Structure 1
Amino acid sequence: MNKENDLYKEKYELYDSLFTQNNIDGILKTVENFLNNPVFILDTSYRFISRSPLARDEISSTETHNEENYLLSDIVSLMKKDKCIDTIYKRTNSFFYYSDQSLIFCSIRINTLTIAYICVLQSNRKFKQEDLELTNILSNILSIQIQKEHLFISNSGLDEEYYLMDLLVNKIDNLEYAEKRLKHGNFSLDKNLLILSIPYKQKYEDYRHNFGLKQIIDGLKRIFGNCISTYHKDMIIFLISNSHQQVISESIKSSLLEFLKLNNLRCGISFVFENLSYIKDYFYQSINTLQLSSYMKINENLNYFEDYVEYYLFHMANNITNDLHKINLSTLVHPWIKKLIKFDEENKGELFITLKTYLENSRNANNTSSKLNIHRSTFFYRLNKIQSLLDTSFDNGNNLLKLELSFKLLSYKLHNYGKLNY
């Protein structure tokens, strides 16, 4: 009976700490008195949000990057391997986890979304079954306290939100001024740009008071690095910039895919582009990609517009409801084609006409060489040069199909309008 009374008293004091302490550090100090073990609070990027007094002395499991403390990479890898991370996101209650160390984990949720989690390390005393109950209560209390403290709210991003919204909604009448505005913040406007959109219905009219949404944005910003974001029409929208043609590298793609899966989210990704004047068209590429993937019942977390160009054209031709934005035809031409055109202009090359002739001649090397009046070795040199420049392989027939469609779009555009704008 005394044991039940003690647990009841501990629960009461823990709930009361929400009012008497009124901050996360104070709440953790209270719960540590009952658990008698270090308590860590981490966000979904494995960064430490807060630590109890005992946990602050525990440095063997932490590493520091950009003056922020994170869970050691080796531990993260082990947790992923053991499916521990998946369990944290799936379960609403705390659970024991045993590996090299004994731990308790529990997600912290806001509006059903996991925005952080609790980690209790067994070090001072062995765990008891009652510890799970206390950790569950701690999770509920921290969910409330995080919202009270506006922990994930930052005013530093407001300017970038307004800048990006202005680009997406209003007509750009002065490109130089638009680019200058973007450079006011920490965002670096590099050569290659990309729009990524994620559907997310939020509860509050002012999304900056939707803590789960803000946490998603902050988590993705850490993955993308150089980017700005905004929220518009139930969409989280990112403008990402990079000096490399592959704006989303394989490592970023891997982290992004994991983040989307864990949060049960999907995204639409535009073509890579360079000219901000056409940002609205590329934004609608990402939106249409999501609509088309849903329409075609393709359940993927990552959806690239380059895989949906022909379906977009089919859907537009068959569309009687006008529910799809009509994208400028120039922006439907694959970035690879534009890269070849630019390379030839700068180097007086003939890569564009070589590839075009190759595709027009059913990918036959002899016929292409004859048509271009060049030696077969010269043709293969150019073809290898093209693949190297585009960082792709034509062994993948799907890549050539994409290019064939782009050449047809380009031919139609030039025939009707006389020039290609992008």
Structure 2
Amino acid sequence: MQELNNIHKTDELELRAALYMQDLFDTFYLNLGLQNIIDKAREIFGHPMLIHDISYKVLASSYDINNITDFMEDENGDKYINEETIKYIHSNYDLMHEIRKSGSYNLIKESAPLNGVLLSLIKIDGIEVAKLVIHGAGKEFSPLAVKLIDRFSQLLSVELRKNNLFERDKNLILNYMIEDLLEGKIIDEETVYNKLHYLKWIKSEDLQIMIITSTGTGVLDSKIPLVMKGLKNFISLDNCTVYKSNITVFVDRRHFDNLFGANSRFEDFLNANNLSAGISLKFSSISESKRFYSQALKAIEFGQRYNTHIAFFEDFRLSIISDSIISQYDLIDFCHPAVIQLINFDKQNGTDLLDTLKNYLYYTNSPNEAAKVLCIHRNTLFYRINKIKDMTEITLNNAEEISKLYISIRLLEINDRLV
């Protein structure tokens, strides 16, 4: 009997949810805008609510939201989430990760700016463009509210797409001159800057090319306007263009910290939207853009291989060299004989002389640090190094020998050939 009652309650809840969603759809089809939909949702949910975009600008809110939280207002009269609340959101990274993975989340924490809220993400084409925040305001959320929130978020996604809040910015039209630059069709530096004069291009002696793409698929396509909208929070869009279905960014010194500094949320932005970024080495000659564009592409390839959302070309140079070698040769052919000898000796005797050598070479001027990493006494370190020298006839007294040994070890590590 209890099971039948539970089934009956479940069916009743589903029916009520369907009826309320019909009311919300009827309001949506009136085509009176986002605010009108939120006003209707306030009646249905029975709680104050708001929608804000990823820059924390409030897009719409219920009439009583000011009783719950404070806002900042800019010179245009636009409202933004207050700084205290933003800091709280940023401090709850694990919570946001859970919401992104499994949907809406009922968050209740005492003495916090978001005391008692129901959160749901609003996405367009898989890109997170806004959040729906429903405040408990001292009342417990009903099972109906929890069931409705994600469905309501999907409706809001359609409305945001329909009312052009997230359409492509007029400044993001594909720039064919930059396309020629990336394809290496323009090689004269003066010609480049003359052509870029009318594109608000800022000449910089310290540039890097960054490519942003979808993780896995390698193209953004329809997501481009939405990603550009989020990118505005980190970098001037004058430095961006659309090329081969992805976003290419010319990163200068002004924007580097905004993107990659210790307090930047750029990696969170990429992670939340399943995006990857590859970044080239620094350069100053804009006519060489094609070369550095290729570096950014290669960085993305290796970043995705190692499951990282941000990949710098400089961090993968040895891996790229390794790939080039093994495409034509056996990697062992490029390794110092002493390294091969130590691998075989360690396997046969259960020792770790190769690891000792690696750390000794890495901490060239600090044997104490090498001993600490190896968890051995400094004297033990020197005993092992002398043993290695005797076994392999290496001297470790010149840069060429040391570099060959260390690179050999690193190449084998990268390819899991040390085991």
Question: What interval of TM-score do these two structures reach, taking the shorter chain for normalisation?
Answer: 0.5 to 0.7
- 1:310-363 per-residue CA deviation (whole Å, 9 max, x = no partner) reads 43344345547xxxxxxxxxxxxxxxxxxxxxxxxxxxxxxxxxxxxxxxxx99
**Matched AA of 2:211:** S
Instruction: Answer yes or no: is the 8 Å Cα contact 2:300–2:311 preserved in 1.
Output: yes
- Aligned match for 2:246, one of 235, 250, 265: 235
Retained in 2: the 8 A contact 1:196–1:239? yes
1:17 paired residue among 12, 16, 27: 27
Cα distance between partner residues in 1 of 2:156 and 2:298? 38
TM-score by length of 2: 0.64
Conserved in 2, the CA contact under 8 Å of 1:29 and 1:52? yes
Q: Deviations over 1:189-213 (max 9, x none)?
A: 333211111232899x994xx2x43
Do 1:195 and 1:283's aligned partners in 2 also have CA atoms closer than 8 Å?
Answer: yes
Partner of 2:120: 106
Letter in 1 for 2:241: T
> Within 5 Å, which residues of 2 pair with 1:211-290?
212-225=223-236, 228-242=239-253, 250-251=261-262, 254-290=264-300
Letter of the 1:84 counterpart = L
How well do the aligned residues superpose, as a CA RMSD in angstroms? Answer: 3.7
Quick check: 1:247–1:272 contact (8 Å CA) kept in 2? no
Give the distance between the partners of 2:255 and 2:167, measured in 1 at CA: 31
CA 1:91–1:42 in structure 2 vs 1: closer, same or farther (change >3 Å)? farther
* Alpha-carbon distance in 1 for matches of 2:248, 2:186: 18
Partner of 1:303 in structure 2? 311
- How many pairs align? 317
Residue 182 (structure 1) aligns with: 196
Residue 370 of structure 2: aligned partner? none
Cα separation, partners in 2 of 1:272 and 1:248, compared to 1, 3 Å: farther
Matched residue SS, 1:184: helix
Matched residue of 1:189: which SS?
A: coil
Q: Deviations over 1:137-165 (max 9, x none)?
A: 32111111222223211342234644432
Work out the CA distance in 1 between the residues paired with 2:294 and 2:183.
11
Structure 1 residues 362-416: Cα deviation after superposition (integer angstroms, max 9, x where no partner): 99xxxxxxxxxxxxxxxxxxxxxxxxxxxxxxxxxxxxx8xxx9xxxxxxxxxxx
In the alignment, residue 214 of structure 2 is paired with which amino acid? Y
Q: Name the CA shift for 1:234/1:154 in 2 (closer, same or farther; >3 Å).
A: closer
Counterparts of residues 62-101 of structure 1 (less than 5 Å): 62-64=71-73, 67=76, 69-82=79-92, 83-92=94-103, 94-99=104-109, 100=112, 101=115
Give TM-score, length-normalised by structure 1. 0.64
> Structure 2: 5+ residue runs without aligned partners?
1-8, 329-363, 366-402, 408-419
C-alpha distance in structure 1 between counterparts of 2:86 and 2:258, whole Å? 26
- Between structure 1 and structure 2, the one with the greater Rg is 2
TM-fit CA distance, 1:240 = 1.6
Match of 2:61 in 1: 51
Offset, 1:39: 1.9
Partner of 2:151: 137
Identical residues among aligned pairs (%): 19
SS at 1:195's partner residue?
A: strand
Matched residue of 2:275: which SS?
coil
Change (3 A) 1:26 1:80: same
Aligned partners of 1:244, 1:14: CA distance in 2, in Å? 42
Pick closer, same or farther for the CA change 1:59–1:170 going to 2, 3 Å.
Answer: farther
**Is residue 117 of structure 1 aligned with residue 117 of structure 2?**
no
Structure 1 gap ranges (5+) = 321-361, 364-400, 406-422
Q: What secondary structure sits across from 2:198 in the alignment?
A: coil
CA distance in 2, matches of 1:95, 1:81: 16
Q: Which residue of 2 aligns with 1:369?
A: none
Tell me the alpha carbon deviations over residues 91-116 of structure 1, each in whole angstroms, 9 at most, x when there is no partner: 23x33211232111111123344332
Structure 2 counterpart of 1:134, which letter?
L
Conserved? CA contact 1:194–1:241, under 8 Å: yes
Q: Which residue of 2 is the match for residue 391 of structure 1?
A: none
